[in-house]
A and B are shown apart, each in its own frame.
Chain A
Amino acid sequence: AQTVTQSQPEMSVQEAETVTLSCTYDTSESNYYLFWYKQPPSRQMILVIRQEAYKQQNATENRFSVNFQKAAKSFSLKISDSQLGDTAMYFCAFTGVSGGYQKVTFGTGTKLQVIP
């Protein structure tokens, strides 16, 4: 079974600064996908970024980038130039792709507060 661990329950960052959220996972699969989802207060959960395990290049989406270390099973999210709208719960998630109907496993989340 896969597990996803987010060791930082809460974090804060000053507006315009950079923050990194940590995520580690455990799996025996060789091919899989990793995701970061964002859930703003009382709002819908949305996909921030995804990384395919077979790709060595780290994914980037505007101010959001990941540091994917496959050997270490680490998948951290870096938010640059933090904005007030980045205040949210952030969930790291994993899904295997070895065939069949692989369920998505989520971490417990990191609550990020951006301070003006």
Chain B
Amino acid sequence: KAGVTQTPRYLIKTRGQQVTLSCSPISGHRSVSWYQQTPGQGLQFLFEYFSETQRNKGNFPGRFSGRQFSNSRSEMNVSTLELGDSALYLCASREGPGSPYEQYFGPGTRLTVT
């Protein structure tokens, strides 16, 4: 089975712009979660989608949004980028809300905001 894929792998944007990141889960996985990883804050949960609906949300401003498509692929969008949004954005998939509970991570998208 192919693993979780994320595109693009690297991105450089300017403050005030918006960005869209994409995640394709492992085949058969219907749940996709997004995390922001920074050296200072570690892994912070953004949101989780299952069956095209947001099921959980972390403590991030409304500039961070996401969606999931019928094929379980997910996108996250960050509008009005700020310097502090520079981070590695990780996507993780799992089968669903039931067992097994482990997540499988993609390689991440490294976003740099200048």
Interface residues of A (CB under 8 A from B): 33, 35, 37, 43-47, 50, 91, 95, 97, 100-109
Partner of A100, one of B33, B42, B97, B106: B97
Binds A, one of B13-21, B48-56, B72-80: B48-56
**What B residues does A46 contact at CB under 8 A?**
105
Main secondary structure on chain A at its contact with chain B?
Answer: loop
Most buried by A among B35, B50, B100, B103: B103
Chain A neighbourhood of B99, CB < 8 A: 97
Contact call B105/A45, Cβ cutoff below 8 A: yes
Partner of B101, one of A45, A91, A97, A100: A97
User: In the docked arrangement, what's the CA distance between A97 and B97, Å?
Assistant: 9
Instruction: Tell which of B33, B42, B105 touches A103, judged by Cβ atoms closer than 8 Å.
Output: B33
A107–B45 CA distance with the chains assembled, in angstroms:
11
Kindly state whether residue B104 has any CB partner on chain A within 8 Å. yes
Task: Give CA–CA (A45, B103) in the complex, Å.
Answer: 10
- Closest beta carbon of chain B to A64's beta carbon, Å: 14
Q: A50-B100, A50-B101, A103-B56 are in contact. List 18 more A-B contacts (CB 8 A).
A: A33-B101, A33-B102, A44-B3, A44-B105, A44-B107, A44-B108, A47-B103, A50-B102, A95-B101, A100-B97, A101-B48, A101-B56, A102-B97, A103-B33, A103-B45, A104-B103, A107-B42, A109-B43
Q: Determine chain B's interface SS by DSSP, over half rule.
A: strand
Query: CB-nearest residue of chain B relative to A6?
Result: B42
Is the beta-carbon distance between A103 and B102 smaller than 8 angstroms? no
Give CA–CA (A50, B55) in the complex, Å. 23
A–B pairs, 15, beta carbons within 8 Å: A33-B101, A45-B92, A45-B105, A50-B100, A91-B42, A91-B43, A97-B99, A101-B50, A101-B55, A103-B48, A104-B33, A104-B101, A106-B35, A106-B45, A108-B42
1/0 contact string of B30-61 vs chain A (CB within 8 Å): 01010100000011010010100001101000
Q: In whole Å, how far is A113's beta carbon from the nearest beta carbon of chain B?
A: 16
List residues of chain B with CB within 8 A of the CB of A44. Answer: 3, 105-108
